[in-house]
């Protein structure tokens, strides 16, 4: 018996936040916040900074806390922003309603869209599902995920250089050998471990995402050997398609939404859909109604019958 496909509700005025209710993803996302905020709190309270100029210490502390603020902000945007799901019930313009659909969620799959097994939806230009942000990485939130990996790698590298270099110098002088009474502080060891883990993971994910963005080829397309987007496009154009069509400080801001370029020429399935396809609470077991699909390039069946006008009574003579 075929599975029942949920239909779209009428677009409402209430805005809902996109969130995937997955236990493992929520635990990983919460662990990420605990590590980042815990490292910032330990650095603020314990102050395991090397002795030196007070101005230098204040500058290093301000820089670290700035990066520690931008990384969770980008993480929150990547987690709570819809990755570009295909609207349920949407069909290409001019296509028959009974065309090929996804066997899992029942929606029509545009080119370069893949089904997310955790989110239970088809995502446009889906790269992968990241448990650390508890969301799939697609065309809607790729910028925020890219900034999250960038700020994580930069903050961890700054902390490693700030605390690791003096620690190595002390170890070279023999301050921490078995005959010495000096031992490394627990806060210093905690910060170094968190920084090392964040730098390795952040730099690896950032390098992989930059390669995927510049080549316009997602991770799934690389693994499956699928062809990428239209050829003959430079890396700079592919980068602007993700971060924004105009070079500005908004590229590195997790609070600025990218403005994609408009598609050139008529297309049944555009290369880039509007970013606000609908922000709603997503449960893997149940898709709630209230998704907004206001797009002039995608047609969706109406769930409410058209409103009939009342006929004016005619005077009888």
What residues contact 201, with CB distance under 8 A and at least 6 apart? 152
Q: Evaluate whether 114 touches 129 at the Cβ level (below 8 Å).
A: no
In the sheet that 281-283 helps form, which strands lie side by side, from edge to edge? 19-20, 281-283, 286-287
Separation of alpha carbons 100 and 73, rounded Å: 39
What residues contact 111, with CB distance under 8 A and at least 6 apart? 269
Q: Evaluate whether 113 touches 90 at the Cβ level (below 8 Å).
A: no
Separation of alpha carbons 196 and 199, rounded Å: 5
**Residue 256 is encoded by which pair of tokens?**
């600025």
Of 147, 150, 134, which is closest to residue 80 (Cα–Cα)?
A: 134
Give CA 96 to chain center in angstroms.
Answer: 33
**Residue 170 is encoded by which pair of tokens?**
């002390």
β-bridge pairing 19-20 and 281-283 = parallel
| The one catalytic residue among 107, 130, 214, 300 | 130
Q: Is 210 helix (H, G, I), strand (E, B) or coil?
A: helix
Helices (H) and strands (E) counted in the chain, each on its own, are 7, 7
Separation of alpha carbons 33 and 130, rounded Å: 15
Question: Is position 300 annotated as part of the catalytic site?
Answer: no
Separation of alpha carbons 257 and 143, rounded Å: 9
Q: Evaluate whether 223 touches 208 at the Cβ level (below 8 Å).
A: no
Catalytically annotated residues = 130
């Amino acid at each position: 018996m075929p599975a029942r496909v949920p239909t779209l509700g009428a677009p409402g005025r209430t805005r809902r936040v996109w969130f995937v209710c997955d236990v493992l993803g929520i635990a990983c996302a919460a662990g990420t916040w605990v590590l980042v905020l815990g490292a910032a709190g330990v650095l603020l309270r314990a102050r395991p900074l090397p002795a030196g100029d007070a101005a230098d210490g204040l500058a290093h502390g301000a820089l670290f806390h700035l990066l520690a603020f931008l990384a969770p902000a980008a993480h929150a945007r990547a987690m709570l922003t819809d990755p570009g799901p295909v609207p349920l019930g949407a069909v290409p313009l001019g296509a028959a309603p009974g065309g090929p659909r996804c066997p899992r969620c029942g929606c029509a799959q545009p080119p370069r869209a893949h089904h997310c097994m955790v989110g239970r939806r088809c995502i446009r230009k889906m790269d992968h599902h990241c448990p650390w942000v508890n969301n799939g990485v697609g065309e809607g939130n790729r910028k925020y995920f890219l900034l999250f990996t960038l700020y994580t790698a930069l903050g961890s590298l700054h902390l490693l250089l700030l605390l690791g270099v003096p620690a190595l110098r002390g170890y070279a002088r023999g301050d921490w050998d078995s005959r010495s009474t000096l031992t490394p502080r627990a806060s210093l060891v905690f910060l170094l471990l968190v920084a090392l883990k964040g730098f390795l993971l952040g730099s690896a994910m950032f390098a992989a995402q930059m390669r995927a963005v510049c080549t316009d080829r997602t991770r799934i397309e690389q693994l499956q050997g699928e062809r990428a987007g239209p050829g003959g496009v430079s890396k700079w154009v592919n980068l602007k398609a993700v971060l924004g069509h105009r070079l500005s400080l908004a590229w590195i801001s997790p609070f600025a939404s990218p403005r994609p370029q408009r598609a050139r020429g008529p297309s049944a399935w555009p290369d880039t859909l509007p970013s606000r396809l609908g922000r709603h609470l997503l449960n893997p077991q149940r898709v709630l109604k209230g998704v907004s699909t206001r797009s002039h390039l995608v047609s969706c069946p109406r769930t409410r019958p058209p409103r009939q006008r009342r006929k004016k009574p005619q005077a009888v003579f």
